[in-house]
Amino acid sequence: MKLAFQPSGTISNLLSASYSGSELWWEHIAALGTPLVEARPDHQVQLTFFWRDPAGNERNSDIRRVFIDINGITDHHSPQPQSLQRLPESDIWYWSVTIDDDWRGSYSLIPVTHAHLPPDFYGDTQQRNQQQREWWCSLFPLSIPDPLNLQGCHRNGLGMSLSAAHMPHAPEQSAWASIGRNSLAQPDTQQPVLLNWQSHRLGNQRRIWLYATGEETERPRPLVILLDGQNWAERTPVFSALEAATEQQHIPGAVWLLIDVIDMSRREQELPCNRDFWLAVQDELLPLAAQHATFSDSPDNTVVAGQSYGGLAALYAALHWPQRFGCVLTQSGSFWWPYSKMMKSSERQTGWLTQQVIEQKVTPSSLKIFQEAGSREDDIEGVNQQMYEALKNAGYHVSYRVFNGGHDSLCWRGGLIDGLSWLLSENA
């Protein structure tokens, strides 16, 4: 899963080889798998990406740029985003970047012709920024995973196929190792139960998935609620990893309840601190789930886990109903809500939920909270630090860490297992 170090000078030797760009050369690159990693001083590495132009060299190909979109690294606001460069008179496109040796992240390549090069942006700063954003988003349908990456591909929340890059010293994700090239791997023993939740309180219906790991005993298994359930059921399928983590005794057996968001509009309405949503979960969804699986109703054995808006929602639920939700796993929580997340740190207003904690407007409780954010998430890391300080000062039991990565399911999937291991350690 992690990329191996190549000998120093590997990239320069490859690019200067007399047979560079030949079939034999590309077979060698494919066997190594990309990106390639060379060690650098001060706990850093040089990461090099390659792409083969199917039309050949610059005389035969219409490709003018191969943009590279790396989570947390690519500047999405630049009028000239980073592109691979072509080795003259060849079908080789390549680019190198220096990065920390414990970084992990998703990326994709975007080969474009002249028709998709950035246009001339005009008007004031706000207008130019809006035009640049629209242009960048217009490239998404052209995005491809790296065909030379041996890790296979996975999908983000928008359904885009991405490739994975795990630096040699990135945190372990052993529970996910068995998935290998097939990111859609499913457990051999069972499939999740797919149910339909018709909510009278919310006036809508959605899919939910129920899954159980471990052996059923006289003691009810913990309940873990996963928000953005469609991501964990379909785009980054979690079931094989849960089986592996349980078998490795990193987490206890549990009942897993995955909640679909229906669509992005509904997600933006229901996840940010929505009282009706959580009343519906308690009054309607949990009784429905209990008809199909036996799980604990103790708050100490109930985890709510979420990312981004889901991370905000998970903590909101536990702070306001600690008698039911006693454990929180919040990843890259959107604690800037409801204010602009694009504010500079010096101008940032304290988010509503953080302010609730600071002003002690939530009932003190014995919650257990696992919180993490990425060092390459800019504003998200800042507001998570604010929330951590507020929780700590209010006396909550919090484990907080910053991982080297961005707003990325590739990072969250490891944090999910680590967080559950910490939250449910007494039940293991």
What integer is the mean pLDDT of 210-228?
94
For residue 131, is it within any domain?
A: yes
Same domain, 119 and 228: no
Do residues 258 and 306 touch, judged by C-beta distance below 8 A?
Answer: no
Same domain, 250 and 357: yes
The residue range of the domain holding 81 is 10-166
Burial of 393 (0-12, 13-18, 19+ CB in 10 A): exposed
Task: Note the pLDDT tens digit of each residue in 96-154.
Answer: 999 999 999 999 999 999 999 999 999 999 999 999 999 999 999 999 999 999 998 99
**Encoded tokens for 154:** 């996975």
For residue 285, is it within any domain?
A: yes
Under the banding of pLDDT at 50, 70 and 90, the label for residue 428 is very low
Cα–Cα dist 207/191, whole Å: 15
CA distances from 377 to 81, 105, 349 (A): 18, 12, 17
- Report the pLDDT value the prediction gives residue 365, as an integer from 0 to 100: 85
CATH label of the domain that carries residue 59: 2.60.40.10
- Residue 262: pLDDT over 90: yes
For residue 53, is it within any domain?
A: yes
For residue 417, is it within any domain?
A: yes
What rounded mean pLDDT belongs to the chain?
A: 94
- Report the pLDDT value the prediction gives residue 227, as an integer from 0 to 100: 99
Same domain, 149 and 229: no
Domain C-terminal end among 145, 166, 187: 166
Under the banding of pLDDT at 50, 70 and 90, the label for residue 347 is low
Under the banding of pLDDT at 50, 70 and 90, the label for residue 180 is low
DSSP per position, 43-63: TEEEEEEEEE-TT-STTT---
Element (H, E) at 330: strand 327-331
- Report the pLDDT value the prediction gives residue 228, as an integer from 0 to 100: 98
Cα–Cα dist 277/270, whole Å: 6
CA distances from 187 to 66, 183, 192 (A): 37, 12, 9
- Residue 310: pLDDT over 90: yes
CATH label of the domain that carries residue 228: 3.40.50.1820
**Encoded tokens for 40:** 């650098």
Which tops the pLDDT comparison, 426 or 251? 251
Same domain, 162 and 180: no
Do residues 21 and 87 touch, judged by C-beta distance below 8 A?
Answer: yes
Task: Note the pLDDT tens digit of each residue in 221-232.
Answer: 999 999 999 999
Same domain, 158 and 238: no
For residue 3, is it within any domain?
A: no
For residue 82, is it within any domain?
A: yes
Same domain, 55 and 127: yes
Do residues 353 and 388 touch, judged by C-beta distance below 8 A?
Answer: no
Mention every residue, 6+ apart, whose C-beta is less than 8 A from residue 185. 178, 179, 237, 240
Same domain, 161 and 124: yes
Same domain, 192 and 156: no
What integer is the mean pLDDT of 68-95?
95
For residue 1, is it within any domain?
A: no
- Report the pLDDT value the prediction gives residue 189, as an integer from 0 to 100: 57
Same domain, 159 and 189: no
- Report the pLDDT value the prediction gives residue 425, as an integer from 0 to 100: 86
For residue 5, is it within any domain?
A: no
Same domain, 192 and 133: no
Domain C-terminal end among 149, 166, 183: 166
Same domain, 88 and 199: no
Poorest-pLDDT segment among 1-5, 11-15, 90-94, 288-292 = 1-5
What integer is the mean pLDDT of 395-418?
97
Q: What is the number of domains present in the chain?
A: 2
Same domain, 152 and 207: no
Domain C-terminal end among 142, 166, 190: 166
Handedness of CA 275, 277, 280, 286 (dihedral sign): negative
Report the percent of the chain where pLDDT is more than 90: 87
